[in-house]
Structure 1
Amino acid sequence: MKNIKKVSLLSVLSLAVAIPLTASATATTDVAPATTDSTAVSQSANTSTDVNTPKVGDHVITPQATDPVLDVRLRGTEMSKPFTIRAGYGYVKVWVRNYGSQKIKLTVTQGSGAGTVKLSGTIYPGEDWSSPINSSAWSTGDFYVNLTSGSADMSGQVSVRTGTTRGELE
């Protein structure tokens, strides 16, 4: 009796394994053959030589590129700190935190501490100030952040970032 049960169980298991194998073989043989049309298949992605040159219609994602060019603590009653605008980074934003007891006058000049004034502002005690972003790109080269506070020592922070677009600095 035990042998009959074993044989029956073995038969059932054999069928359980055989039926799916037969079904999958049948399923794969019932697939219609692939056809081609007369239109040539373009494989330009595989043969392109100008992959780094965007063209009209391309979906180019440009990472936001900003350059932190200056970040210093304010000290003394007068400071002049240089920074450089690199090619392509002509948009500028300045941040000042005034922890001192006197207002701070700020200018950003081109070429030297006494050069052409590109930006100016006044930062009052306890104020966090940020400059408007220039409407057109500044030229490359050396610039200076000049800060004065009259007779009281300055306390705070000044930071400058440059970007490739205005939107990156907003």
Structure 2
Amino acid sequence: MKSTIKRLLVTSLSAASILAVTSSALADDNSTAANPGTSDSNPPIIQLGDENITDGGIVTPFSSTPVIDNRPISGHDYEASFYIKPNFGYVRLYLKNTGPDTINLSVNQGSTSGPLKYFAKVYPGQTFNEILNPKGAWAVGDFYVSLASGSLPMSGQLGVRISTDLNF
């Protein structure tokens, strides 16, 4: 009797697994979905966790990419550039100051002397890890990170990520 119940349970679980895999495979089939680019108006985007879901049932995950990846910094002055590509207007900057002096951090658009987009001071032992523009995306183009310390040389790490939205 016990072996009959075990076989019945195993068979039921196997059937449920097959149905779950089949239904998820069919749900990923986009051949029957309407092309969102052919509509005259785009439905509003609703934020839910790490993905954007439109009223039409289309899921568009956000995207982020490192443009400066944990680069070691040293000396009294340091410069690095990054490019914001189309649809990637949000910037997160990471700066770990392991040196003995305060680091002045600035981000300029177009060149190192272009319009100032952000400025901060990162004190010795402090880690700066913030989205620089939470109120709105920056334009496509080149941006320059400039770091400067006082009389003592810098040490630490610099990282910059760009994203399509604020969930990064």
TM exceeds 0.5?
yes
Give the C-alpha shift of residue 130 in structure 1: 1.9
**Counterpart residue type for residue 62 of structure 2:** Q
Aligned equivalents of 1:138, 1:105: Cα separation in 2? 21
Give the C-alpha shift of residue 47 in structure 1: 7.4
**Partner SS, residue 117 of structure 2:** strand
Match of residue 93 from structure 2: 94
Give the C-alpha shift of residue 158 in structure 1: 0.8
Q: What does 1:14-25 correspond to in 2, within 5 Å?
A: none
TM-score, length basis structure 2: 0.67
Match of residue 118 from structure 1: 117
Distance 1:87 1:151, change over 3 A: same
Note if contact 2:118-2:132 (Cα within 8 Å) is conserved in structure 1: no
**Partner SS, residue 75 of structure 2:** coil
- Would you say 1:143 and 2:143 are equivalent positions? yes
Note if contact 2:102-2:123 (Cα within 8 Å) is conserved in structure 1: yes
**Aligned-CA RMSD value:** 2.2
Aligned equivalents of 2:157, 2:110: Cα separation in 1? 23
**Partner SS, residue 100 of structure 1:** coil
Aligned equivalents of 2:80, 2:30: Cα separation in 1? 51
**Counterpart residue type for residue 91 of structure 2:** V
More strand by share: 2
Q: Which runs of 5+ in 1 are unaligned?
A: 1-44
Aligned equivalents of 2:73, 2:101: Cα separation in 1? 12
TM-score, length basis structure 1: 0.66
Give the C-alpha shift of residue 64 in structure 1: 2.2
Q: Which runs of 5+ in 2 are unaligned?
A: 1-28, 44-54
Give the C-alpha shift of residue 61 in structure 1: 1.7
Aligned equivalents of 1:47, 1:155: Cα separation in 2? 53
Give the C-alpha shift of residue 48 in structure 1: 4.8
Q: Which has the larger radius of gyration?
A: 1
Aligned equivalents of 1:103, 1:47: Cα separation in 2? 57
**Counterpart residue type for residue 68 of structure 1:** P
Q: 1:55-88: per-residue Cα shift (whole Å, max 9, x none)?
A: 6431222222001111211111101101000000
Note if contact 2:77-2:146 (Cα within 8 Å) is conserved in structure 1: yes
Match of residue 67 from structure 2: 69
